[in-house]
């Protein structure tokens, strides 16, 4: 295609749905799916199960739980300082590349509280506590080092340690299917038996940045540098983009932004039918972009950051959903056609059955807000 080809919103929508496995459920193992998606945002521990159910055929929740207990998938702070489900390999390969961003994001919240704190000394103190191999909650770890920083509250100390200074994982039973458990942490290296890869020295090729770029485009492209930055929290990876630009194809969106993509990645016909899909809270199909207009209207953009679970109708956010006593309750953002309503009910019944282990198939459609 010509570098000047313009992709309209519908074309970008269908590309996103294809990359995100939302046009047609995939026949993929769970581990491969987590890898393809570049991780799943997972600060709400049960939400990734719905995200995988919406993307995979014959998804078995225990398969994800087994990957967590088998240490092939981990829960860790990474992209944007949020908790993600990642393959063990990706966590080890990517964590150090995010170190600076993670520190800055925690400091952005607690800068006043952490003023004057020697972060290297704090990291050393935290590592010494965790060296015994015992899992600890964030508050337990903060209390264990508090004597060294008596003027700093436990929350700033704890978040800086587990989300930034020490690569950690939230260990099971946190994140297992139908399990409620607080977050308890162990160092990534001791949990997986390997140290994370080191970040490249200044001036060296950014192999991790290149890998992140390629993986992002495979799961989210075509996309702008600002979209890449919004997904990972890193500063656009300009060196990585420059290193592989000749291998990529270029488009424009309707705003004139340059969009980069892998040459052989799927870009379906904009008229490709899109089935109804139920997405969990904070799904990266919505959050993985700076410009989210390809999937959600500007008027409803706030839903994507408040934890609302959303329903895609014709590929776009058209409703929210919750569960009430086993019933999936759908609240449209605008009136649904008869055909769309029937499709929402059918998919909602399947979701209710999945969430209830086939005990319920109840769906209720609420009235759209006035």
- Predicted pLDDT of residue 3: 54
- Predicted pLDDT of residue 1: 44
- Predicted pLDDT of residue 14: 98
pLDDT by residue (tens digit) across 333-363?
Answer: 999 999 999 999 999 999 999 999 988 889 9
State yes or no: pLDDT of 2 exceeds 90. no
pLDDT band (50, 70, 90) for residue 202: confident
- Predicted pLDDT of residue 107: 96
- Predicted pLDDT of residue 248: 97
Distance of CA 129 to the CA centre of its chain: 30
State yes or no: pLDDT of 290 exceeds 90. yes
pLDDT by residue (tens digit) across 46-71?
Answer: 999 999 999 999 999 999 999 999 99
- Predicted pLDDT of residue 369: 75
State yes or no: pLDDT of 323 exceeds 90. yes
pLDDT by residue (tens digit) across 244-288?
Answer: 999 999 999 999 999 999 999 999 999 999 999 999 999 999 999
pLDDT by residue (tens digit) across 123-164?
Answer: 999 999 999 999 999 999 999 999 999 999 999 999 999 999
Q: Contact at 8 Å (CB) between 30 and 52?
A: yes
pTM: 0.94
- Predicted pLDDT of residue 225: 94
Beta strands 73-77 and 83-87, pairing class: antiparallel
- Predicted pLDDT of residue 236: 65
The percentage of the chain sitting over the pLDDT mark of 90, rounded to a whole number, equals 90
State yes or no: pLDDT of 203 exceeds 80. no
State yes or no: pLDDT of 298 exceeds 80. yes
Which residue do the tokens 């939230």 mark? 170
| Main-chain phi, psi angles of 314, to 5 degrees | 55, 35
Indicate the range of 85-89, 236-240, 348-352 predicted with least confidence.
Answer: 236-240
State yes or no: pLDDT of 227 exceeds 70. yes
Mean pLDDT across the chain: 95
- Predicted pLDDT of residue 235: 87
The percentage of the chain sitting over the pLDDT mark of 70, rounded to a whole number, equals 99
């Amino acid at each position: 295609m010509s570098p000047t080809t313009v992709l309209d919103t519908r074309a970008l929508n269908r590309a996103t749905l294809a990359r995100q496995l939302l046009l047609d459920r995939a026949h993929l193992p769970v581990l491969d799916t987590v890898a393809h998606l570049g991780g799943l945002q997972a600060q709400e521990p049960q939400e990734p199960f719905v995200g995988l159910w919406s993307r995979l055929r014959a998804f078995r929740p225990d398969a994800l739980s087994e990957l967590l207990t088998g240490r092939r998938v981990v829960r860790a702070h990474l992209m944007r300082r949020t908790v993600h489900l990642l393959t063990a390999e990706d966590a080890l390969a990517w964590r150090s590349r995010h170190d600076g961003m993670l520190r800055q994001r925690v400091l952005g919240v607690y800068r006043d509280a952490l003023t004057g704190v020697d972060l290297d000394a704090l990291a050393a103190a935290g590592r010494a506590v965790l060296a015994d191999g015992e899992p600890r909650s964030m508050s337990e770890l903060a209390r264990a080092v508090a004597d060294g920083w008596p003027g700093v509250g436990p929350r700033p100390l704890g978040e800086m340690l587990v989300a930034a200074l020490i690569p950690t994982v939230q260990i099971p039973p946190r994140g297992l299917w139908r399990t409620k458990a607080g977050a308890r942490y162990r160092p990534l290296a001791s949990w997986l038996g390997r140290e994370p890869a080191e970040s490249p020295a200044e001036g060296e090729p950014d192999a991790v940045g290149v890998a992140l770029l390629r993986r992002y485009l495979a799961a989210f492209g075509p996309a702008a540098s600002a979209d890449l930055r919004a997904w990972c929290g890193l500063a656009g990876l300009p060196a990585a983009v420059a290193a592989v630009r000749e291998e990529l194809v270029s488009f424009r969106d309707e705003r004139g932004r340059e969009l980069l993509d892998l040459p052989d990645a799927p870009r379906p016909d904009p008229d490709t039918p899109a089935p109804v899909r139920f997405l969990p809270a904070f799904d990266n199909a919505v959050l993985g972009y700076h410009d989210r207009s390809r999937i959600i209207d500007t008027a409803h953009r706030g839903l994507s950051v408040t934890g609302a679970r959303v329903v895609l109708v014709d590929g776009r956010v058209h409703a929210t959903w919750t569960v009430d006593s086993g019933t999936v309750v759908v609240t449209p953002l605008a009136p649904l056609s008869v055909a769309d309503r029937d499709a929402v009910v059918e998919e909602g019944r399947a979701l209710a059955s999945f969430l209830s282990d086939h005990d319920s198939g109840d769906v209720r459609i609420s009235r759209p807000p006035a």
